[in-house]
Amino acid sequence: MTRYIIQVEDIHYTYPDGTGALRGLSLSVAAGSKTAVLGANGSGKTTLFLCLNGLLKPQKGTICFDGETLSQKRQALKKLRSRVGIVFQDPDTQLFSASVLQEVAFGPLNLGLKKEEVLRRVTRAMEITGIAGLQDKATHLLSYGQKKRVAIAGILAMEPEVLICDEPTAWLDQKHADKIMDLFCRINRAGTTVIISTHDPDLAYAFADRIVILEQGSVLGAGGPEAVFLDDDLLARAGLRQPQVLETYRKLRAGGYLREGFPLPRTREELLQML
C-alpha cells in the first residue's frame, strides 16, 4: 500500500493584500517519490511549498505530514522543519550567515547534533554540491548560482525526509544543473522524498515519477510523466510544450524510424540508444 508522506486537502491561501494564491488545492505525495510541480508564473508553486513547510498557514483546508495534521505550535513546527527541508527559489532570502561554512553548519547545529556529526554532514553536503572550495568565502560575495548551491547544501546537511526545492536549476549553468539533478536522484534512491518546481518540461520529464500542473492556485492535472506529457489537450491548456525527447520519439515512430516494443525514452541518451 502506498504511504503518503504529504496529503493536502482543499487548501486556500490568500496573501494579506488580498491575492488568492491557492484556491482549493489538493495533492498527495508518496513517500520516496520524486514530484515535479509545473505551472505558469504566479500559479502558486512557491506559496504551496511555503505551506508544506509550515511557513505559511492556509486559511482553509488541511495538510497532513506523515499522517498527522500540521500544527502551528512552536515545537511541532520545529520538528516539521527538521523533517521537511525547503530550498527557496531565491537564495538571497535563504542565506544569512557570514561564511559558506557557517551557513551550511547552521541547520545541523540548530538540530542540536554533536560537533563531529555536524562536521560529517557539513563536509559531505559541501562535497556533493561542489562548494567545498568555497567554505571560507563570504556568502554575499558568491555568484548567484554558487549561492543556490550553498542553499541546497545547507538543507541537505539537515538530512530531511522530504526535500523541497523551488526551481533548483534556475541560475545554474548546464554542468551544475545536471549535477544537482543527479544528486537529487541519488538522495531519492537513498530514501528521501524530493519535490521540485520547474518551468522546464524536459527536466521534469527526465526527473520525476509524478508531475503536478498548477493553474491559478489549484491542480489542473497530475499523473505519471508519460501520461501527463502525452496528453496534448492538458499540455495545451497548461501552456506547456512536450519534452523534446518525447516529441522527437513520437515523430520518429510516426515516420516508421523506430520499431515497436520499446518503453518510452525518458532522456536524450535513452532515445539515442534506441536509434
Ligand X SMILES: Nc1ncnc2c1ncn2[C@@H]1O[C@H](COP(=O)(O)OP(=O)(O)OP(=O)(O)O)[C@@H](O)[C@H]1O
Site residues (CB under 5 A) for Mg ion? 45-46, 89
Report how many residues bind ligand X under the rule CB under 6 A.
13
Min. distance of Cβ 6 from ligand X in angstroms?
A: 17
The verdict on 19 binding ligand X (CB under 6 A) reads: yes
Min. distance of Cβ 14 from ligand X in angstroms?
A: 9
Please give the C-alpha separations between residue 228 and each of 87, 111, 244, in angstroms, as whole numbers: 26, 39, 14
Min. distance of Cβ 115 from Mg ion in angstroms?
A: 36
CB 38 within 8 A of CB 198: yes
Applying the rule CB under 6 A, the residues between 45 and 104 that interact with ligand X are: 45-47, 89
The verdict on 148 binding ligand X (CB under 6 A) reads: no
Single out the residue of 5, 21, 95, 101 in contact with ligand X (rule: CB under 6 A).
21
The verdict on 43 binding ligand X (CB under 6 A) reads: yes
Nearer Cβ to ligand X, position 21 or 142? 21
- Give the separation between CA 14 and CA 2, rounded to whole angstroms: 32
Q: Give kind and range of the element (H or E) at residue 127.
A: helix 115-128
Question: What grid cell was written down for 145?
Answer: 548560482
Min. distance of Cβ 213 from ligand X in angstroms?
A: 11
Q: Read out DSSP for 210-232?
A: EEEEEETTEEEEEE-HHHHHT-H
- The owner of cell 538540530 is 111
- Give the separation between CA 136 and CA 46, rounded to whole angstroms: 31
In eight-state DSSP terms, residue 164 is E
Contact region for ligand X (CB under 6 A) — 36-44, 145-153, 205-213, 259-267? 36-44
At what angle are helices 144-156 and 100-110 packed, to 10 degrees? 20
Start-end of H helices in 136-173: 144-156
Min. distance of Cβ 88 from Mg ion in angstroms?
A: 9
- Give the separation between CA 155 and CA 140, rounded to whole angstroms: 18
Min. distance of Cβ 85 from Mg ion in angstroms?
A: 17
Contact region for ligand X (CB under 6 A) — 41-49, 90-98, 133-141, 266-274? 41-49
The verdict on 44 binding ligand X (CB under 6 A) reads: yes
Applying the rule CB under 6 A, the residues between 244 and 263 that interact with ligand X are: none
Could you list the residues that contact ligand X (CB under 6 A)? 15, 17, 19, 21, 39, 41-47, 89
